Amino acid sequence: MAQSVRPLAPVAIVFLVLLGVLWWLFDGYTAGRVHPNRALATSAGEAGTVRLTRSRDGHYRAPGTINGESVGFLVDTGASVIALPAGVAERIGLARGARITVQTAAGPSRAYRTRLDRVVVGSIAVDDVRAAIVPAVGGDQILLGMSFLGHLDMQFRNGELLLR
């Protein structure tokens, strides 16, 4: 019986390798559709201008940095300030300031004021930015609110957001 299975071993190995390659390609394809701007930091183009492509779910996401630490942003023109989950704020080393109440999609939530020394998205940097640490927000995605976006000119056109 073992000898009859032995010729199938090379076929099984090729099948598993092919399956792994297909998985890797599909994973890269779907990640690009959900987060089309993941390589933004290396392809920002002209200085002071960032072009974001809308993801499949209709949102604009961008990689960036806060105080030199890599983060992921979700553009939110309805947010007054940059809103950070508590876990990200702790990783970056942000201090909690005065307690405030913020209005989220889920209703009122407790938050803490903080200041960000430097926020960078692509080739755009803004110093001394108001922000809020919102413990009720999970995950690691940061809402890029108007305390950053308000310094910029924004144009929405054909599924793209141009920031200058």
- The confidence score (pLDDT) of residue 56 equals 87
pTM for the structure as a whole: 0.74
Domain identity same for 48 and 30: no
pLDDT tens sequence across 65-109: 999 999 999 999 999 999 999 999 999 999 999 999 998 878 899
Give how far Cα 160 sits from Cα of 37, 54, 86, 107, Å.
Answer: 11, 6, 30, 30
Give how far Cα 24 sits from Cα of 14, 38, 56, 71, Å.
Answer: 15, 17, 20, 24
Could you give the CA distance from residue 138 to residue 105 in angstroms, rounded to a whole number? 13
| Residues 6+ away with beta carbon under 8 Å from 112 | 96, 97, 98, 99, 100, 132, 133
Domain identity same for 15 and 54: no
What domain count does the chain have?
A: 2
- The confidence score (pLDDT) of residue 41 equals 42
Domain identity same for 23 and 78: no
pLDDT tens sequence across 27-67: 555 444 556 676 664 444 566 789 999 988 889 999 999 99
Closest CA relative to residue 163, chosen from 45, 32, 36 = 45
Segments forming the whole domain that contains residue 110: 40-163
Domain identity same for 106 and 54: yes
Domain identity same for 62 and 136: yes
Domain identity same for 47 and 95: yes
